[in-house]
Amino acid sequence: MKQVVVTGTGLYTPEQSISNDELVASYNAYVDNFNAGNAAAIESGEVEALTHSASGFIEKASGIKNRYVMNKTGILDSNVMTPQIEERPNEAPSLQAEMAIKATHQALEEAGITASDIDAVIVSCSNLQRAYPAISIEVQSLLGIEGFAFDMNVACSSATFGIQMARDMVRSGSAKRVLMVNPEICSGHLNFRDRDSHFIFGDVCTAVILEDAEIAKNKSGFEIIDTKLFSQFSNNIRNNFGFLNRAAEHARDDKDKLFIQNGRKVFREVSPLVATMITEHLAENGLEAQDLRRMWLHQANRNMNDFIVKKVLGYEPEFDQQPTVLDEYANTSSAGSIIAFHKYKQDFKAGETGVICSFGAGYSAGSVIVRRAG
């Protein structure tokens, strides 16, 4: 079986950002307007008054202080509260393809190859801006790549599932060099009028290049030791937006056409499941927790990650063992663990081992054990 290496990663960060205080000010202005506009109905008990959001709660409950977004003004306008992104003509590159290209250039540079060396493209993320043609085929075309491309979606686990697909393709010989890219515009499917979740997500794009080790030019990449995927149906994180919405017009704009979750249940159910998955995955590969230099975990919640790593290691982790990017980027769905890997991998020495792990809607979870080559 061929050995597969991650030879390059890339990160595109949007220029605009929103702090917790800015987001909360906009949400609270919406609440004040709503309550004033519904004063009589609230007084008579017909309508429930809305409650303010609070920056202090957000940081304590999640670890999030800031998020990057593709359009700040629409989100912060308390009469709009959604990103305002113009439709583009079919001849122009789509926004997700544009984000993908930016992240890809950085990944190619690290891998020391050009786009024409790639022979397969996977765009893997939690929402695609159109049904077809596939964004990945557009990326393939914009980069001048020969071969094939496809899109896939496993919500927050899209990147680790994408890595397993890419690895399997290289191992089987159906591709030699794969670009796996995650353009996440989470702000487009987040309900900024929902106090429980308005603070959770941000926008970003990550890219990963996986190659047959024999032909890789970057000899100090990260060998993939093994991958393990898990899924189990749950309604606790759900978004009912889809092509049949226009066939049920009365429900087309209901809240469930954006992200909804039972966050507390997700926290309780998913955290132990992920800790067990990582421990079992290590054991299957003859490894123990102390063999790990670092875990690059999905970035949904700081407390959740602390719980998982403590359960795997048996003690409180240092930042170096479990770096977080949540404070700056918030939850960027599938891109989160890859941002952490991208930003905190350069200090790895040859032979050191780590785990990239994602988890989220589905439920879905993916674990990727990597070891620095070279």
Catalytic, 186? Answer no
Q: Tell me the chain's radius of gyration from C-alpha atoms.
A: 21
358 binds ligand CO8 (CB under 6 A): no
Conformation bin of residue 294: beta by default, left when phi > 0, alpha when psi is -120 to 50: beta
String of contacts with ligand CO8 for each residue 60-99, x by CB under 6 A: -xx-------------------------------------
Q: Which stretch binds ligand CO8 (CB under 6 A): 112-120, 202-210, 289-297, 298-306?
A: 298-306
Q: How far is the CB of 267 from ligand CO8 (least distance, A)?
A: 4
String of contacts with ligand CO8 for each residue 304-323, x by CB under 6 A: x-------------------
In the bound state, the residue with its beta carbon closest to ligand CO8 is 360
Q: Copy the structure tokens of residue 362.
A: 């589905």
263 binds ligand CO8 (CB under 6 A): yes
Using CA atoms of 58, 64, 65, 70 in order, give the dihedral in degrees to the nearest 10.
Answer: -110
Distance CA(71)–CA(76), nearest Å, equals 9
Q: Which stretch binds ligand CO8 (CB under 6 A): 136-144, 248-256, 300-308, 340-348?
A: 300-308
Among 25, 29, 42, 54, binds ligand CO8 (CB under 6 A): 54
238 binds ligand CO8 (CB under 6 A): no
Burial class from Cβ neighbours inside 10 Å (0-12, 13-18, 19+) for residue 215 reads middle
Comparing CA positions, the residue from 260, 241, 204 lying closest to residue 130 is: 241
Q: Which stretch binds ligand CO8 (CB under 6 A): 2-10, 83-91, 182-190, 277-285?
A: 182-190
Nearer to ligand CO8, 207 or 300 (CB): 300
195 binds ligand CO8 (CB under 6 A): yes
| Position 69, amino acid | V
Distance CA(18)–CA(66), nearest Å, equals 6
360 binds ligand CO8 (CB under 6 A): yes
Nearer to ligand CO8, 62 or 218 (CB): 62
Q: Which stretch binds ligand CO8 (CB under 6 A): 67-75, 106-114, 210-218, 258-266?
A: 258-266
User: Which chain residues interact with ligand CO8 by CB under 6 A?
Assistant: 53-54, 57-58, 61-62, 126, 155-156, 186, 189-190, 195-196, 199, 201, 237, 259, 261, 263-264, 266-267, 300-301, 304, 331, 333, 360-361
Tell me which residues are annotated as active site: 156
